[in-house]
Amino acid sequence: MAERERVLWGLLIALLIYPNDNFGGAFQPEFSSPISNLTIPLGRDATFTCLVEHLGGYRVGWVKADTKAIQAIHDHVITHNPRVSVSRSDHSTWNLHIKGVQLEDAGLYMCQINTDPMKSQTGLLSIEVPPDFDAEETSGDVMIGEGGQVKLTCRAKGVPEPKVTWKREDGKNIIIRDSPSIHDKKFKVMTVGEYRGEELRITKISRNDMGAYLCIATNGVPPAISKRITINVHFAPVIHVPNQLVGAPLGTDVALECFVEASPKSINYWVTEKGEMIISSAHHEVQAISKSTFQIRMILTIRNLQEQDFGSYTCAAKNSLGEVDFSIRLYKILGPARTQNVLVPPYYDQEEENEDVIFGSAELEKMENKAYSSDNTVQGHLGLPSSGASSSTPTMKINRRRPPTGIITSPSGNRSSNSALTQPFRCHSISLMLIIFITITCFRLL
Ligand SMILES: *[C@@H]1O[C@H](CO)[C@@H](O)[C@H](O)[C@H]1NC(C)=O
Ligand SMILES: *[C@@H]1O[C@H](CO)[C@@H](O)[C@H](O)[C@H]1NC(C)=O
């Protein structure tokens, strides 16, 4: 009896003195919950937690599963990686810390207990990498002739794989014209606010495609990144003239105007009938107002009209790709000077609404017809356009006038006469229909 008591006491004392020792197989160490997998952005800190019950005298170790590299045993860090450390609270919570995770840290981490056989559980460390452009495979600014095709590329790396979208900096839509297939000769035109994909291909490029494009790469890991790529579309100057014939009485002020489109920017100037370039003076004011990167409104104001001012005035535009000019005829009308202001129609604002369809010269011609179909014969005293204008006084020496080279034909050409014909023709057909209608009605009544 006393013998048994002594043994029991001995056991009890041993348990009290060595509570952590490997005593009694009844309480084998166990994991009390699995290790959470971690997804950590590159450069941030990661912590795996291994929860253990009844550790007893056993030890907890951390091993990187793929390399078999021992990270730590109990409270001691074994690996030489200075970014690895361990911590614990009592014997149940064991932490492995990795500071500023790097790509090579990714993988399975194993928490082991040195029982026999060994017990272990693993947790996966995934590293997220914010997007980054591959400079070699990402486009820079491009310069292209009108009608050509460009392919812009933005190749982005990152984990998970980034998605690339394109948009225009000015918020306008992007026009994608799919190449015609063998069967279907037509271009499929698609207008999108945003285009998805690493490559943006624009075919049959038009001046309206000109501008800054942004490619934006995102993969859910901040920060998202973007790159700005500008497309410069080059074309020879083109001139639109809203009023080719301008009538005004003596003694009044009159404004003549031409709209120029050119890229690169053109040199713009006015020339008199005698071939002399007009510069700003007390009698003449020369203005050039930028409407967009490639559109300029040229205004020539002649003050206090004198007899010798009547005649033709030519606006001309010249860039590296060509030159064009256009003549406006200023003639005298009788009567007292009219002082009311006639508003100049905002040509470009109108155009902007259907800019999506302008490409190729055929389309442009159509557009012009539309512009010309407005009354282009007589304007009385033209009001002075609102200013805020930047005057430009070119200093170039002028050659004699040259036949126009752009798509503009001679001012007295087909276009104006065409449009002059359209209106009466419509009137005639409407009257004709009315007469037929009335005749039929009369017959019915009889
Ligand atoms: C961790 O990820 C592995 C592999 O994707 C999966 O099998 C395991 O169940 C995950 N563990 C937890 C705790 O979610
Ligand atoms: C109109 O254009 C046609 C062909 O483009 C040409 O043959 C004709 O002479 C032109 N008419 C005028 C009035 O310029």
Q: Which ligand is nearest to the CA of 412?
A: 2
Cβ(76)–Cβ(101) under 8 Å? Answer: no
Question: Measuring CA to CA, how many Å separate 54 from each of 10, 70, 76, 87, 113?
Answer: 22, 23, 20, 18, 11
Peptide bond into 237 cis (omega under 30): no
Torsion angles phi and psi, residue 58, rounded to 5: -75, 170
Q: What is the pTM of this model?
A: 0.59
Phi-psi region of 54 (alpha: psi -120 to 50; beta: other; left: phi over 0): left
The ligand 2 atom nearest the CA atom of 413? 14
Predicted pLDDT of residue 314: 97
Which tokens go with 1?
């009896």
pLDDT in tens, 25-69: 568 899 999 999 999 999 999 999 999 999 999 999 999 999 999
Give the per-residue pLDDT at 349: 42
Residue ID of nearest Cα to ligand 1 atom 3: 124
- Ligand 1 nearest-atom number relative to CA 34: 13
Low-confidence ranges of the chain (pLDDT < 50): 11-24, 337-425
Max intra-chain CA distance, the chain: 145
With a 6 A CB cut-off, is 124 part of the ligand 1 pocket?
A: yes
Neighbouring CB atoms inside 10 A of 115's CB total 16
Give the DSSP H or E segment for 269: strand 267-272
**Residue among 32, 124, 125 to mutate when testing ligand 1 (max atoms within 8 A of CB):** 124
Ordered by where they begin, the domains of the chain are 28-129 (2.60.40.10), 134-235 (2.60.40.10), 241-412 (2.60.40.10)
Question: pLDDT, tens digit, for every residue of 87-110?
Answer: 999 889 999 999 999 999 999 999
For 434, the token pair is 């009315």
Q: How many CA atoms lie within 13 A of 443 on its CB side?
A: 6
pLDDT of residue 179: 63
Distance (Å, whole) CA 172 – CA 208: 10
